[in-house]
Amino acid sequence: MTGTTPDTSGTTPGTADAEPPEPFGARLRRALDDRGPLCVGIDPHAALLSAWGLDDDVAGLERFTRTVVDALAGQVAVLKPQSAFFERFGSRGIAVLERAIADARSAGALVLTDAKRGDIGSTMAAYAAAYLDPGSPLFSDAVTLSPYLGFGSLRPALDAARSAGSGVFVLALTSNPEGAEVQRATAAGGASVARTVLGHIARENAGAAPLGSVGAVVGATLGEAGVDLAVNGPLLAPGLGAQGATAEDLPRVFGAAVRDVVPSISRGVLGRGPSPAALREAAARETGRLRAVLG
């Protein structure tokens, strides 16, 4: 395995007067600089398990996930397990996800759990406890959230993330074409919903250095974002590879904020499995392409 091993703990055990945890934004900036600008999604859907010669069951899920984590967690900056593909197997699938998160973090990768949670009140607080409480078996470096019950509904998760030194990525301009009917709609005051969400994110990150811990999800397939993406936080960019975007598209979409992009690739790397060496080679190749464009 290649690459350095940044501190991904985000928490400091000890008494109440212990030093606060290092913010996620700072840890992410260091990981991207050290390991390169690549996030690899862990998406064990049925077709991919079959392509690997695995059964679509818990045993296949576990074999797939363990292979990816063992091959890549010591090399890439971020691993992004898609929770839905684990949840479909019930409690046994969640157990595989729990182990994957713990093992990947122990090997030095930052783990972004792609769960897209969003609710209000005590329910949002419970989601925050599941993914952002250091005592939870699903505790992750960051989690994706949906703001479409109002950005203020995310406050329990925002506060929990800040306390734990974790991060959140809020859906803003997603790569699926259906998203435009909501995200491009005009909100009160005349701004689009996406612009309003991005404004909230920028305010959460005000004054953070070297990078805020509240990120936005902005699809690499957009062509032109049409809004200011300078939110002083990371920009998760799905859509590269199978969805049609390339590394060369990123400067046009993200403009001056391109250095804060976290490009996410799943099938372009996972499709090279099940060979661990082939997975590492694919990740290294994608990282090289992204470095050449992003610097």
Cite the active site residues.
116
Q: Is 295 exposed, middle or buried (0-12, 13-18, 19+ CB in 10 A)?
A: exposed
- Sign of the torsion angle spanned by Cα atoms 181, 187, 190, 192: negative
Strands (E), the chain: 39-42, 78-81, 110-117, 142-145, 167-173, 214-218, 235-237, 261-265
* Integer Cα distance of 239 and 67 in angstroms: 23
Q: In 3D, which of 81, 82, 85, 61 has the Cα closest to residue 72?
A: 81
* Integer Cα distance of 77 and 271 in angstroms: 19
- Tell me which amino acid residue 101 is: I
DSSP at 274: T
Beta bridge partners of 204: none
Write the DSSP string, 95-115.
Answer: HHHHHHHHHHHHTT-EEEEEE
* The two structure tokens encoding residue 181: 């009917």
Q: In 3D, which of 138, 136, 140 has the Cα closest to residue 79?
A: 140
Q: Is 80 helix (H, G, I), strand (E, B) or coil?
A: strand
Spatial contact of 220 and 240, defined as CB atoms under 8 Å apart:
yes
Spatial contact of 112 and 138, defined as CB atoms under 8 Å apart:
no
* The two structure tokens encoding residue 114: 């792609």
